[in-house]
Each structure stands twice: as structure tokens, then as C-alpha cells.
Structure 1
């Protein structure tokens, strides 16, 4: 009982903070393009001045952050974003992180590819470390591919957790496009389908984070307090944002493109249908009352993807008000100094956030959302 009471107190305090701590003036037009650009630049400047990462400057957190920086540059052409991209890539010496069979550790290469495509200086970017990673990742054997790991996580496929669908597939897809080597796209599809078949819940149109949260009909299945399945907002945000990135660069004529378009539409339909009234999704998608306050990282990834879908004709424009409402909610979670608060810390299932909690990937998601909101009519 004590533990439950503490959780309820934290949740109540968080919800009050969301209402009282993150405000924008009632007169502010948060959809004004100049306001959006200013909010994005403030987020960049604050994050660059307060570096944070889980393991190293080349890890997945930095990869997600600089993917957001790349999308911000793509939308605005502001050279502050390109400067940040080049600086980190140069000091990283264009390296990935070290675990060649772990999807997380190539996410940083999205920013390297973006620089190579958009900077125009062919003598500046070194994609050899990225190629080394991708070749090992796809074509070498490892214990996950062999299916010999029998842990509760279900590490019996290469991308055994749903977050991986943001980390590696967009890089593989973009690398295939940039280098004109479709074999990388075909391999991406092969491993993507393994994850889809293992973790996608067709009834709920959402992804379980990993096998711990896949329902089997057993009494041991994990449930939310309201009896529903556990679907993590950021986990599904990783997937749907990754789908938007994939579809943006995937050839229109690619034989498997319809699969990705249909999956994107299914997930988008579900995400929109469960949007809270204040526009910002809770960490638990089907049990929002568990931590009844908005969470930025998952919400910003959803916002980016939904706005991208509208902007690219995959979603009906009737959803535009819902997406704009989501952006208005995100803006309320940005501090005056630019910090993007209310980001759930590194995890793998629904947990609370707070006014002051931030992570670089949350800032990256915020930049991604802003980049697509800027394009909306």
C-alpha cells in the first residue's frame, strides 16, 4: 500500500506541475512559423550546451538526437543545425558505437549520411565505419540471429525490441539509397519482418516493446492495472517515427513499400484515436491513468510521424487539428531557457516523467516534430 500511495503522489504532483510549471502565454501563437523556429533553435542551443548520453557520444541517444537535428536542418536550412551535425561527426571521427550486432549502435550514422548527402564536400565525410557496421550487422552470425537466447526478452531475432526499428532501418534504407545498393534495403526488410511478426499486435495496432509484453493467453501475461496490455508510448513512437523516416527515403517502386505504408496508416489510426484531450500522450498508451501526465519523447515522435503522414498524403488532413493540438502540448513542456522537459528517462516500459526530466533523444524528437509542423498548412 505504501508503494502505491507514493506512486499516486508522484503522479499527482507531476500532473500539477504539468499544468503549473510549463506555460506559454495565452496570446502566443504556437503555430506561427517564427515561433516554431525559435522554439527549435532554443532547444538545440540548450541541448548543445548540456550534453548528455547513455554510454558514449556515438550511442543511440546521440543518434536519435542528431536525427532530430538533421530533420530540423532539412526543414529550415538554418546553418546552426548543420554546424552541430558537423561538429559531432568530426569529433566522433565518423564512428559508430562498438556493438556491431546491436541496432542501437548505428543510429548515429543517420546524421553522417545526412551530412554527406547535403553538405556537398565529398572529402569531408567518412562512411567506412558505417559500412563496416552494416556489413557485420546484416551478414555476420550472432547469438540473436541463431535464436539461442532463451531469456524473457525473447532475444531470438536480430531486432528483438521495438525501439530497434528506429535505430537501424532508417540508416539501412538511406544507405541503400545513397550508395545505390538495394541489397541493404532488402536485408532491412527481412529483419524488419521478423520484428513485426514477433512484436506487432494486430488487434491493438501497436507494438509490444519486447517479448515480455506479448500476450500469450497465460495467467503470467503482464497487464496494466486496468487489465489491458502494456504498450509503451515511446516504444511505439520509435516505431512510427522510424516508419516515416523509412518511407521518406524508400523508392516509390520498391516492391515491399505497400507493407510499410499500410503499417504506418494502421499505427497512425490507433495513435490518433487514443490521443488525450490535452494533446500529449501518456507513457502508457492503453492505461493513461497510471501516470496521468504528458510525456514528451513518445508524444513528439508521434507528432512528427502524424504530421509527416499528413504532409505526404498518407493521412487525411482531417487529423491536422489533432496534430496541431499535440504540438501545442509539447511547447508547454519546453522551459524558457530551451530545455525540453517531461521526458521519461531511459527505460523499456511506461514510467513517469517530471518537469525537469530531460534526455537528448527527447530534444531530438521535439526537433523532429517541429520540422514537420513547420510544413503544415
Structure 2
């Protein structure tokens, strides 16, 4: 991609929400990789997680670090992965029934490919066996709750399926993909809105055609940006490790194209997406975690021939320019909505490790665009 194009994009988005309280910091001499490294350095110096270093927030962040190393071969990214894994003793988090707690293993499985006998995969093996095959109340459904299936919230489709696809590839055993597909299809059937080509976050937000159902301030259905970013970004990761001839691959490719097309249609003028996708006026400013995952996924789709370059590349370049404008001079990526499950506001000083991960993920594919 020509440097001039990126400079022009940065100028275009200089009036975006991310710059409403800050000065654009993109320098002509900085490459995309430079910005990714700055984000990594800042995040490593400011560790944060919800409950534990092995939790889903770090899982999402280090998934971005994986893709950064894979794209650039920059040893700084690999060093961060090795240090994290060593400090965590290659453990997962503790809830075997919960998809969030296996997300960290995406980084472990990748790091395992970089040097023989470096990674202890026994905790990952144990988690996957228990998660897929042990009884859980969620699998039977908890009466009166949203927990009707194992992956009952759409975020789960980023947390577990990419790990399972990578694990199936590592084991050369498609039975793990088959199990993944069973649970993925349950979530799809329960939460995917075919009319809007978006996922409800969970059953609380699923439109049932009744006046009492939850809607946004403009009367439209509520679809959370990061929730759908989790799904679309996760789909790209799954497809990357899924064999081309896998029997259910067409389902995932079709879903990916449907969602990407919808996301492209509702991009805001400044290049970023709002936290409430169909009610942008609710919080009328850009948000970087959902936008980062969307940018990563669409760029991946272009680079892998799943999406039309002619149709989608302008959307991706506009989004990346806007994301750049949300990165401060010190490397911090702002305008990240905090931990939640529905649309909420963000600001220039709000950050989370998964927001950094989304930024680095996006960069890892945008730098490959020609």
C-alpha cells in the first residue's frame, strides 16, 4: 500500500471523533508496523486484565500480538508472547464450561509453532476436552436464564472457535471442527438476525417482534458494535485455520460475507463504527475495539480472496486511517468502550488491552494490502 494513500486518509479523518479532543499524531515516517510496535510497548508497560492474566481480555490482546508477529516477523511481538506464556505457566483460566477462558490458548498454540518443546500444551488440551465433552448446565440450558446453550453470548464466537480451529489443525483432526460447528450453529440459530445480518449480543437483545422488546432510542434493534466485531473477527481467524475442503466451510464463508457487507454499509462518515450499530446517534462518536475487529476482518477478507478488493478496500483504508488517529503519541489506543455487553460511550482516554489487540490485529492485515 502506498504511503501517500495512508497520509491522505489521516488528513480525511482528522476531524473524526477520535480527534475531537486530541491532536493527530500520525507521522509520515511511521509505518503501520511502527504504530503496532508502539501500541505493544505501551500495553506491555500498562498491563491490565479483568480478573487474571489468563482471562479473555488478555486472550484477545495476545491474539492481536500473534497476528502481528505472523505478519511482520518482528521479534518484539514474539518476545511478548513468550514472556506472557512463561509468566502464565501456559495455563488457561479456570472455568472449563466458559468460552472466555480458553481464548488465551490461541497465543499458546501459535507460540508452540515457533520452537519445539517451548510450550506446555497440557492445560490447553485439558480445557478443550472438558469444554467440548464434559456435561455442563449450560449445555442443557438453565431455566429462566439467558444460558440456554454453551455459547449463549455472541462474544463467545471469538473466544473459543478460533482456538478450536487452530487446535484441530495442530492435531490434524477435523472432529474438533465438527464439535465446534455443533456449538457454533447453536449460537447462530439463537442470536443471528438474518434480516439485519448482525448478531444480538444475547437473548436479552433478540428481537421477537413484540412492543416490549428492547430497542434503541430510534426504535431500531440494538446491535452492539464490539459484540459483532467479536463475531466477524473470530470468523476470519476460524477460516484461516479451517481446511478449504472442510464440509461446513461454506457456512462460515457465507456468514462472513453477509456480515462484512452489512458492516461496510453502516460505516460512519469518519471511518469508525458507533457502539450501537443501528442507532449511531445514541453515542455519536467512534469506538476503536469494534472498529478494529471490523477492519481486521475485512482486510483479511480482501487479502484472502473472500471479499472484493474493489468494493471493500476503500472501507478498510478509511477505517484504518481513523484508527490511527485514535492512537496517542505514547502508543496508547483510546476511544475503547470498557468491559460490558451493550452499547456504551467511550472517550479519548478510555483504553483496554483488548482495544490494543483489535488495533494490532487490524494493522496486521492492513499492512498486507497492495
Give TM class, smaller chain: over 0.9
1:374 and 2:370 equivalent? no
1:190 and 2:182 equivalent? yes
**Residues 350 and 22 of structure 1: is their aligned pair in 2 closer, same or farther, counting only changes over 3 Å?**
farther
Match of 1:136 in 2: 130
Match of 1:289 in 2: 281
Match of 2:354 in 1: 361
For the aligned residues, what is the CA RMSD?
Answer: 1.2
Match of 2:257 in 1: 265
Aligned mates of 1:116, 1:22 — CA distance in 2: 41
Any idea what SS the aligned residue of 1:288 has? coil
- Alignment equivalent of 2:197, drawn from 201, 205, 213: 205
Cα deviation for residue 18 of structure 1 reads 3.4
Instruction: Describe how 1:91-130 pairs up with structure 2 within 5 A.
Output: 91-117=87-113, 119-120=114-115, 122-130=116-124
Cα deviation for residue 236 of structure 1 reads 0.2
Match of 1:11 in 2: none
Match of 1:166 in 2: 158
Deviates more, 1:318-327 or 1:63-72: 318-327
Aligned mates of 2:271, 2:121 — CA distance in 1: 40
1:316 and 2:308 equivalent? yes
Native 8 Å contact 2:17 2:286 kept in 1: no
- Alignment equivalent of 1:222, drawn from 208, 214, 219: 214
Aligned mates of 1:68, 1:22 — CA distance in 2: 26
Aligned mates of 2:128, 2:25 — CA distance in 1: 44
Give structure 1 regions of 4+ aligned residues with deviation exceeding 4 angstroms. none
Q: Can you give the 5+ residue segments of structure 2 that lack an aligned partner in the other structure?
A: 1-15
Match of 1:341 in 2: 334
**1:103-123: CA deviations, max 9, x gaps?**
000000000000012x12x22
Cα deviation for residue 22 of structure 1 reads 4.5
Aligned mates of 1:168, 1:290 — CA distance in 2: 31
- Alignment equivalent of 2:74, drawn from 42, 58, 78: 78
Length-normalised TM-score, structure 1: 0.92
Aligned residue-pair number: 354
Cα deviation for residue 348 of structure 1 reads 0.2
Instruction: Describe how 1:21-40 pairs up with structure 2 within 5 A.
Output: 21-24=22-25, 28-29=27-28, 34-40=30-36
Cα deviation for residue 130 of structure 1 reads 0.4
Match of 2:20 in 1: 19
Native 8 Å contact 1:275 1:281 kept in 2: yes
Native 8 Å contact 2:21 2:348 kept in 1: no
Q: Can you give the 5+ residue segments of structure 1 that lack an aligned partner in the other structure?
A: 1-14
Aligned mates of 2:189, 2:17 — CA distance in 1: 40
Any idea what SS the aligned residue of 2:20 has? helix
Aligned mates of 1:205, 1:178 — CA distance in 2: 32
1:147 and 2:141 equivalent? yes
Match of 1:156 in 2: 148
Aligned mates of 2:86, 2:335 — CA distance in 1: 31
1:242 and 2:234 equivalent? yes
